[in-house]
Chains A and B, each alone.
Chain A
Amino acid sequence: MDQKTKELIENEVGNNEVCLFMKGTPDAPECGFSMAVLNILKILEVKFKGINVLENNELRQGIKEYSEWPTIPQLYIKKEFVGGCDIVKEMYENGELKKILKNKNLSFKD
């Protein structure tokens, strides 16, 4: 990954408390897995930034390297990689996601 891509990722992760690297945009997701995570964030009314990796191929590859995770979407909460679609879904269902949001003092609809 080049330096510019690394800085871009670090900026997004550092400047947005909740940050979703996804395919498509929050208004127009282009993949079912991205949409699933998006829907969870919307249901919880969490403030987040969605970053479309399809607009930047360097970013699309770079984020996989950065997180050491082979798939997209990828959710970051306060600089911490939380997981991809399967993990986020599971954590939403078992209440762990809410616990993380609460512990990190982020507002959401309980």
Chain B
Amino acid sequence: MTMDIKEIEKLIKESLPDSLIEIQDLAGDGNHYSATITSSAFNGKSKIEQHKIVYAALKGKMGNELHALSIKTKEKNGSEN
């Protein structure tokens, strides 16, 4: 099963309204995506916690419909760390 970019963006925006999202369809097959998400919700959190926030926003789709989504999270108004 595949998901389109708009759907992924919409789910993330719903949970993280202040987020800036950049998504690339890596293979053009609607199945391999790379997303860079910048949000203040990540500030002060560990990478694992940040990714868990994104997984929660995707409501269980990660690892199912979304097999190959590579995620990069960045804090807003903070360091990129």
Contact = CB atoms under 8 A, between A and B. Distances in A.
A86 B72 contact: yes
A91 B51 CA distance: 14
B81 A85 contact: no
Contacts of B52: 68-69
Interface residues of A, number: 15
How big is the B interface, by class?
10 to 19
A90 B70 contact: no
21 contacts: A33-B68, A64-B63, A68-B52, A69-B48, A70-B55, A70-B62, A70-B63, A70-B64, A71-B63, A81-B48, A83-B48, A83-B51, A84-B51, A86-B51, A86-B71, A86-B72, A87-B47, A90-B47, A90-B72, A91-B47, A94-B81
